[in-house]
Amino acid sequence: MSDAELIPDNIILGERNYEAGLNLVIADAFNEILIFDQDFIKGGYASPKRLELLHAFLSNDPLSKLTIILQDSQHFINHCPKLFELLKVFGHKMIVYETNDSAKVAKDCFVITDKCNYLRRFHIDQPRFKYAFNDEEMAANLLMRFNELLEETADVISVTKLGL
């Protein structure tokens, strides 16, 4: 399925389609991107296209903001070096959190952009997802959930190691 064949508001299957859907939603973002994911292993977060889209988003507007919540940050830190580099460059506009243990039961993933667009993967182990543009009601529900997860974060991922 090409990007043009991904029809919003329908349940869509497939890992490649999931990555394409994420690209569509992220490419449409202007002010804010909120991402909740287990670990960034799935979804193509280290792909050149995703890096290009996120870099453009962070570069185009001085007030743009990217907030990421991960349940486990090890893959992000160890296997997404260019995405981690974005955190170094855009640390004033980008923040990455890791949840505490109580929030690790969540098994879906989602992205919300500009409080009205979203993509939601129903379960990390199944490549079934739905996305929509200009659906403020569902985006508001996911935003409420994102804020609840934000309250359950344990750590902020830093680009510098602190020690004695």
Q: What is the CATH number of the domain that holds 100?
A: 3.30.870.10
How far does Cα 11 stand from its chain's mean position? 19
pLDDT tens for 39-58 read 999 999 999 999 999 999 99
Q: What is the pTM of this model?
A: 0.93
Q: By residue range, what is the domain housing residue 20?
A: 3-156
- What angle do helix axes 81-89 and 48-60 make, rounded to 10 degrees? 10
pLDDT tens for 58-114 read 999 999 999 999 999 999 999 999 999 999 999 999 999 999 988 888 899 999 999
* pLDDT of 14 higher than 80: yes
Instruction: Work out how many domains the chain is built from and give that number.
Output: 1
Taking phi over 0 as left and psi of -120 to 50 as alpha, with beta for the rest, 86 belongs to alpha
pLDDT of residue 8: 80
pLDDT of residue 161: 62
Write the burial class of residue 129 (CB in 10 Å: 0-12 exposed, 13-18 middle, 19+ buried): buried
